[in-house]
């Protein structure tokens, strides 16, 4: 496989790079299996920052680990397809790929930055060795000198001077370690970088610095980012689009602006009211009552119904489908948006440049299970 070079893309920004369809992940097997991710559909486009939000335990990290085949036991992928587009036209289903293919594609096409750089970096190896070893493993023809020069270049990209190349991880601050991880993730110029809570453990000043550098790198090199965090307010600042997960299910997906200005799912609304607003008028933080459900004993119907202040009679019995709602490619899994009655005003705000809520077409109503809609 030839090395992917990130230049102005031939197929143009916006093409699908990673398509996740019907992904299901269990922990354990048989009757004791816990359904950690259920029927997840996500598409990451070229150059896009796609945010994946939700409380702890909602399945965000499990989804990313499963999609990249890094899931550890007792995690089991039970269904789905993860199509990676690479090399200007080739497609591979990562769930079917052999170990050799995965080894080539990881880091060169898809790389990963985890929350704890201290755990991800080797504590007894210098930064230089870790960077050059990664280059040597994937680009064996690269000369020793070229590897060293590339290591300097990578550190410079993330704002670390070359004199730290000889440092070991414990000699660096938390922010510097995370920058080293980002440098390693970009070493082979991947198309996709998956970031799982990459700045959560850092103070807010360092977090902001790293995010600004990251967005600058994204603009320069054109890679796409799947950014996983519980912090929806952070995603609204950096993401192009956002998917919200609850109890292993995707409940809403929309452009970041549409999600922020006009949430359609009660859980999204609750998350937005769980963080102080960075822009606009001050609104009281109300949070979400209750706790996420135990995945071993999920509620019937809509899994969010025990915590939902808008719940309808049907919500305890009928699972709402994840379906298109309004315009702009938004999908929502909530009976409020798929029933005949207008949703409450809080969940029907007009989107900037898009239409306000409109009743679903008669055809789509006919496909939903019968029951009281209001
Ligand atoms: Fe609330 Fe019902 Fe919508 Fe679920 S389907 S989020 S319970 S209104």
Q: Is the pLDDT of residue 85 over 70?
A: yes
Question: In sequence order, which ranges of 222-255 are alpha helices (DSSP H)?
Answer: 232-238
Ligand 1 site residues, Cβ closer than 6 angstroms: 265-266, 302, 304-305, 308, 310-312, 315, 320, 334-336
Q: Residue 274 Cα, ligand 1 centroid: separation in angstroms?
A: 18
Residue among 191, 1, 19, 42 nearest 95 (CA): 19
Q: Residue 318 Cα, ligand 1 centroid: separation in angstroms?
A: 10
Percent of the chain with pLDDT over 70: 87
**Does the pTM exceed 0.75?**
yes
Q: What is the pLDDT of residue 283?
A: 66
Probe ligand 1: pick from 335, 339, 341, max atoms within 8 Å of CB?
335
Q: Is the pLDDT of residue 211 over 80?
A: yes
The mean pLDDT of 22-38, rounded to a whole number, is 92
Q: Is the pLDDT of residue 1 over 70?
A: no
Q: What is the pLDDT of residue 371?
A: 32
User: Is the CB of residue 27 less than 8 Å from the CB of residue 73?
Assistant: no
Taking only the tens place, the pLDDT of each residue in 318-335 is: 999 999 987 778 999 999
Q: Residue 263: which residues within 8 A CB-CB, separation 6 or more?
A: 252, 269, 272, 347, 349
CA distance 355 to 115: 38
CA distance 347 to 332: 11
Atom of ligand 1 at shortest range from CA of 316: 7
Q: Of all protein residues, whose CA lies closest to atom 5 belonging to ligand 1?
A: 334
Q: Residue 266 Cα, ligand 1 centroid: separation in angstroms?
A: 7
CA distance 97 to 49: 25
- Compare 222 and 14 and report the one with higher pLDDT: 222
Taking only the tens place, the pLDDT of each residue in 352-364 is: 665 444 444 444 3
The mean pLDDT of 284-312, rounded to a whole number, is 91
Q: Of all protein residues, whose CA lies closest to atom 3 belonging to ligand 1?
A: 334
Q: What is the pLDDT of residue 280?
A: 61
């Amino acid at each position: 496989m030839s090395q992917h070079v990130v230049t102005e893309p031939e197929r143009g920004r916006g093409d699908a790079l990673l398509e996740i369809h019907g992904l299901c992940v269990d922990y354990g097997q048989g009757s004791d299996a816990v359904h950690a991710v259920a029927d997840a559909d996500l598409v990451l486009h070229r150059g896009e920052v796609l945010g994946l939000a939700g409380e702890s335990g909602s399945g965000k990290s499990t989804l990313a680990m499963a999609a990249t085949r890094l899931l550890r036991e007792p995690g089991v992928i039970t269904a789905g397809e993860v199509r990676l587009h690479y090399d200007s036209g080739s497609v591979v289903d990562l769930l079917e790929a052999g170990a050799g293919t995965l080894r080539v594609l990881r880091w060169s096409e898809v790389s990963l930055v985890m929350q704890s750089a201290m755990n991800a970096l080797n504590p007894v190896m210098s930064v230089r060795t870790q960077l050059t070893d990664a280059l040597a493993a994937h680009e064996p023809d690269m000369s020793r000198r070229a590897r060293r020069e590339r290591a300097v270049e990578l550190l410079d990209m993330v704002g670390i001077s070359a004199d730290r190349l000889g440092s070991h991880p414990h000699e660096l601050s938390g922010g510097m370690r995370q920058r080293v991880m980002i440098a390693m993730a970009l070493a082979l110029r991947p198309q996709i970088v998956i970031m799982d809570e990459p700045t959560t453990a850092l103070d807010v000043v360092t977090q902001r610095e790293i995010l600004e550098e990251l967005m600058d790198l994204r603009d320069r090199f054109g890679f796409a980012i799947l950014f996983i965090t519980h912090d929806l307010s952070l995603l609204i600042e950096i993401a192009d689009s956002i998917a919200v997960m609850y109890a292993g299910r995707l409940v809403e997906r929309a452009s970041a602006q549409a999600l922020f200005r006009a949430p359609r799912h009660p859980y999204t609304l609750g998350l937005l009211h769980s963080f102080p607003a960075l822009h606009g008028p001050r609104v009281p933080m109300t949070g979400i009552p209750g706790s996420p459900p135990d995945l071993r004993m999920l509620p019937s119907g809509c899994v969010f119904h025990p915590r939902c202040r808008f719940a309808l009679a049907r919500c305890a019995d009928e699972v709402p489908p994840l379906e298109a709602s309004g315009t702009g490619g938004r999908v929502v899994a909530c009976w409020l948006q798929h029933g005949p009655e207008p949703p409450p005003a809080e969940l029907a705000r007009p989107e900037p440049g898009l239409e306000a809520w409109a009743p679903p077409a008669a055809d789509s109503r006919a496909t939903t299970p019968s029951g009281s809609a209001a």
